[in-house]
Amino acid sequence: MKATRVTTAVAVLAGLVFPFASQAADAVQGIPGYLNPSTGVFSARPALTPAAAAIAATGKIVVTINLTFDSKIPLAQIVTCNVFISSTDSSFFNNASASNNVVKTSASAGSCIVAIPYIWEIASASTMMNVSVDVSTFETSTPNLSHEASFTVAPFAVPSGKTKLPAITLAM
């Protein structure tokens, strides 16, 4: 009779312990996505649809920005070029960004080159890339005075390899 009680007790304890262990293993799941370390913003990436197969797209986008400055911008003022590239399709979301400082070479002109490498998964070779450029400066001598110029490139298919875009000319 003691053996029956011990067997029954072990069976009851096993029934209580093992379901919790399997539930704990099932509860450890993550959300696929991207955490931008500079902004702390997490962007969830939707799962692939069963019919979609990933295509690896790797390359580098090179953007040259030529600037013409208004004489009201001080010669020593720091001007920042920011370029953002992104691509969105039905199965994936991918993005990358970079920025570079512009050193004014004269009172009326300057330039910067921004190169953005990327390694993306896309659903189709016809997935479009978006490129936007923003150039800005904030004057420290005059509070709340800033100058900004922006440009958006017409979307194009995500390229593989190094792609140098035509130079962009902006005035500030």
The CATH number of whichever domain residue 149 belongs to comes to 2.60.40
pLDDT (mean) for 148-155: 93
Question: Could you tell me if residue 137 is inside a domain?
Answer: yes
Confidence of residue 77 (pLDDT cuts 50, 70, 90): confident
Identify the pLDDT of residue 98: 66
How many independent structural domains does the chain possess? 1
Question: Could you tell me if residue 69 is inside a domain?
Answer: yes
The tens digit of pLDDT for each residue in 20-75 reads 444 545 555 667 776 777 788 777 776 555 456 778 888 999 999 998 887 777 77
Q: Please list, in sequence order, all residues whose beta carbon lies within 8 angstroms of the beta carbon of residue 11, skipping any fewer than 6 positions away.
A: none
State yes or no: pLDDT of 9 exceeds 50.
no
Give the residue with greater pLDDT, 158 vs 121.
Answer: 158
Q: Count of CB atoms within 10 A of residue 155's CB?
A: 13
Give the residue with greater pLDDT, 146 vs 104.
Answer: 146
Question: Could you tell me if residue 37 is inside a domain?
Answer: no
Per-residue HEC secondary structure of the chain comes to CHHHHHHHHHHHHHHHHHHHHHHHHHHCCCCCEEECCCCCCEEECCCCCCCCCCEEEEEEEEEEEEEECCCCCCCCCCEEEEEEEEEECCCCEEEEEEEEEECCCCCCEEEEEEEEEEEEEECCCCCEEEEEEEEEEECCCCCCCEEEEEEEEEEEECCCEEEECCCEEEEC
Question: Could you tell me if residue 71 is inside a domain?
Answer: yes
Question: Could you tell me if residue 14 is inside a domain?
Answer: no
* Residue numbers of the domain that contains 90: 48-171
Identify the pLDDT of residue 35: 75
Q: Record the pTM.
A: 0.64
Question: Could you tell me if residue 27 is inside a domain?
Answer: no
Question: Could you tell me if residue 3 is inside a domain?
Answer: no
State yes or no: pLDDT of 82 exceeds 80.
yes
Question: Could you tell me if residue 19 is inside a domain?
Answer: no
